[in-house]
Amino acid sequence: MEIELTDKQLEDQKIFKEFTDNEIAPYADRNDNEERTPPETIEKLANKGYLGFVIPEEHGGSGGDMITYGLLCEEIGRGSSSILSLLTVQGMTSLSILRWGDDHQIEKYLSGLAKGEMIGAFGLTEPNIGSDANNVETVAELRNGKYILNGRKKWISFGQIADIFLILAQCNGKPTTFIVEKNTPGFSVHPLSGLMGFRSAMIAELHLNECAIPEENLLGKIGFGFSYVVNYALDFGRYNVGWGCVGLIRAALEASLLYTQSRKQFGALLRKHQLIQQMITDMITDLTAARMLSYQAGYLKDSGDPRTIMETSIAKYFASRAAVKASGNALQIHGANGTSSEYPVQRYFRDAKIMEIIEGSTQMQQMIISRYGYQHFI
């Protein structure tokens, strides 16, 4: 595996960092308090080509490779986990349509998603169904040439402002994915607020009440919903989250390094205390390990190696747990100050816990990785 970045990737990395430093990080706490992402921020992301970074150029995207995309996710994740989640769901929606959509669906939706003219959301989780997505309770029935959807979806990132939604529903008893546009009669969006983390991700609950969509809005085939569309999208989502956690660990580390160089206790700078040094050491080590695991997953994705699915789960599993540890240590280092909105470490801590839940919880990754172990190490 070649882990040395090319000159182009190094240059792109600098551009991503500058964008985050100027357009994301300075406003992240304000957006968190207001529980919104300003439209101008989304427009800037779109203008830079970040919302369609991995979509081929012929479909309006940037045609970027997965390693470079990972570098983008690290920088955006360093600035705001909520903004990272926009890249996550936009990519999950776009790539699902690119992979499983027919010519009409690709022509109608993909260019708009790639250019940021449309925002996409992924309607998977429900009030009663989380990790067990194969058994969603939303149902779809074909009547008179239209699919009629009934059910509810919950915890949908950027559901408040999305233009199209990929909705997983049971059709003829089989998990199936449908494209639902926001103005469809019978479809309504209900904002969720007061959440622990990802507060500016504009999370929503979706209600589908006799929601009628054209038969042509079936994505893929009946029964393809979970095994094909959802699993394909989740693999991409886990890759995003893994790299985003690398950025979050880095943010926690950088905040801790700055704080311990100026804060004194017992007549010495915090950086001089051995227990503080231990926490800093753990952050640096976990950051390096999480980044290497994410590089490995991206390298395998770019080379078309099917092992990337498992390596992505491993990267997401390790990086999300490491982000919780790093952000917790950062908050501990800051003491009471860390609990204040004047310091971003409290946001890092809250967001890091969400990273352990989304796109397959820590426990789901443990099940996946352990099954892999029994198959390949015995």
**Which amino acid is located at 185 in the chain?**
P
State both tokens at 374.
Answer: 């029994």
Domain end (from 89, 114, 139): 114
168 SS3 class:
strand
In CATH, what number is assigned to the domain containing residue 217?
Answer: 2.40.110.10
62 part of a folded domain = yes
- Distance, CA of 364 to CA of 317 (rounded, Å): 9
Whether 215 and 234 share a structural domain? no
Say what the pLDDT of residue 2 is: 60
26 part of a folded domain = yes
Say what the pLDDT of residue 309 is: 92
DSSP code per residue over 175-244: EEEEEEETT-TTEEEEE--S-SS-TTS--EEEEEEEEEEEGGGEES-TT-IIIIIIHHHHHHHHHHHHHH
Phi first, then psi, for residue 7 (nearest 5°) are: -60, -40
1 part of a folded domain = no
| H or E, element range at 5 | none
Could you read off the pLDDT of 105-157 as tens digits, one per residue? 999 999 999 999 999 999 999 999 887 778 899 999 999 999 999 999 999 99
Whether 33 and 102 share a structural domain? yes
**Which amino acid is located at 377 in the chain?**
F
Average pLDDT taken over every residue of the chain: 94
If one counts every other C-beta atom within 10 angstroms of the C-beta of residue 11, the result is: 11
143 part of a folded domain = yes
Phi first, then psi, for residue 231 (nearest 5°) are: -65, -35
Say what the pLDDT of residue 103 is: 96
Whether 279 and 342 share a structural domain? yes
Whether 87 and 193 share a structural domain? no
SS (H, E, C) 105-158: HHHHHHHHHHCCCCCEEEECCCCCCCCCHHHCCCEEEEECCEEEEEEEEEEECC
276 part of a folded domain = yes
Whether 19 and 82 share a structural domain? yes
Answer whether 0.85 is exceeded by the pTM. Answer: yes
Whether 369 and 241 share a structural domain? yes
Domain that holds residue 48: 7-114
Whether 215 and 241 share a structural domain? no
Short-list 246, 364, 372, CA closest to 315: 246
Whether 107 and 133 share a structural domain? no
Whether 110 and 135 share a structural domain? no
Residues 215, 176: contact at Cβ < 8 Å? no
264 SS3 class:
strand
Whether 252 and 344 share a structural domain? yes
Query: What's the residue count for the chain?
Result: 378
What's the number of domains the chain is made of? 3
362 part of a folded domain = yes
2 part of a folded domain = no
Phi first, then psi, for residue 238 (nearest 5°) are: -65, -35
Long-range contacts at 114-117 (CB < 8 A, ≥ 24 apart): 114/51, 114/52, 114/55, 114/59, 114/60, 114/61, 115/46, 115/51, 115/52, 115/60, 116/42, 116/43, 116/45, 116/46, 116/47, 116/51, 116/52, 116/90, 117/46
Residues of the chain short of pLDDT 50, as ranges, are none
Query: Would you please indicate which residues are annotated as catalytic (active-site) residues?
Result: 359
State both tokens at 78.
Answer: 């360093």
204 part of a folded domain = yes
Residues 293, 311: contact at Cβ < 8 Å? yes
Domain end (from 181, 201, 222): 222
Question: Could you say which DSSP state residue 320 is in?
Answer: H
In CATH, what number is assigned to the domain containing residue 367?
Answer: 1.20.140.10
**Which amino acid is located at 23 in the chain?**
E
Whether 369 and 234 share a structural domain? yes
Domain end (from 180, 202, 222): 222
In CATH, what number is assigned to the domain containing residue 40?
Answer: 1.10.540.10
Whether 312 and 209 share a structural domain? no
| H or E, element range at 309 | helix 308-334
